[in-house]
Amino acid sequence: MSEQTIERVGERARERTGDSVSRQVDGTHGPFAVSPTRPTAGPGADGWSGAPRRLEPGPASRARSVRVVVAVLIVVSAIGYLIYTGFQSTTVYYLTVSELKAKGPAAGAVRVAGIVQANTVVRSANDATVHFTIADQGGSLPVVYQGMVPDIFGPGIQVVVEGHYTAGGLFQADTLLAKCPSKFTAAVPTPVSVH
């Protein structure tokens, strides 16, 4: 009920403040245009739905639009700032093995992709540590990783590791992602090559 009241007041105010649309309209859209599901009196039955008078937008309305634009700008810049700082603080380099070796341990947190080499995977018996070597066209890189290993991880699988290059030449990985070579197009198990 209160909504109807609000709408009715709204209609009055609309007539008062005028309308920025410059076209004439007929009077059939009354205040009851609002809720299609609520049975109400027909349009025009309430006496509020005459053709609105047309008035030029006044200074008050212009001030309001400025306020809205300013408010929108503030929100948008806040979101922009959040995104900017997000990028600043979480970006990591995606490097090839040779790029990583050129940069050395100073590279910081990086991501490296490569193929797990045959006969290099060593899993420790009692904790979840895995040692393995990945390689791309530019060279090979020994990796140590502790944590959840994806099911398809194994020799010949392309993996992406994220972590740090240590002074000893070992890559300490914090995350290990394996690409599913055939997740959707199940096929004969073939050796995967770098695309």
- Dist CA 158 CA 3 (whole Å): 60
Per CB under 8 A, does 35 bind another protein? yes
- Dist CA 135 CA 113 (whole Å): 8
Length of the chain as a residue count: 195
Name every residue whose Cβ is closer than 8 Å to that of residue 160 and which is 6 or more positions away in sequence: 111, 112, 113, 176, 177, 178, 179
Site track 148-167 with another protein (rule: CB under 8 A), x = hit? xxxxx-x-x---x-x-----
Per CB under 8 A, does 64 bind another protein? yes
Smallest distance, Å, CB 109 to another protein? Answer: 10
Instruction: Give whichever of 56 and 168 is closer to another protein, judged by the CB atom.
Output: 56
- Using CB under 8 A, pick the residue from 16, 50, 58, 65 that binds another protein: 65
- Dist CA 132 CA 120 (whole Å): 5
Per CB under 8 A, does 120 bind another protein? no
- Using CB under 8 A, pick the residue from 38, 119, 168, 193 that binds another protein: 38
Per CB under 8 A, does 188 bind another protein? yes
Site track 70-89 with another protein (rule: CB under 8 A), x = hit? -xx--xx--x--xx-xxx-x
Identify the H or E element spanning 12.
helix 2-17
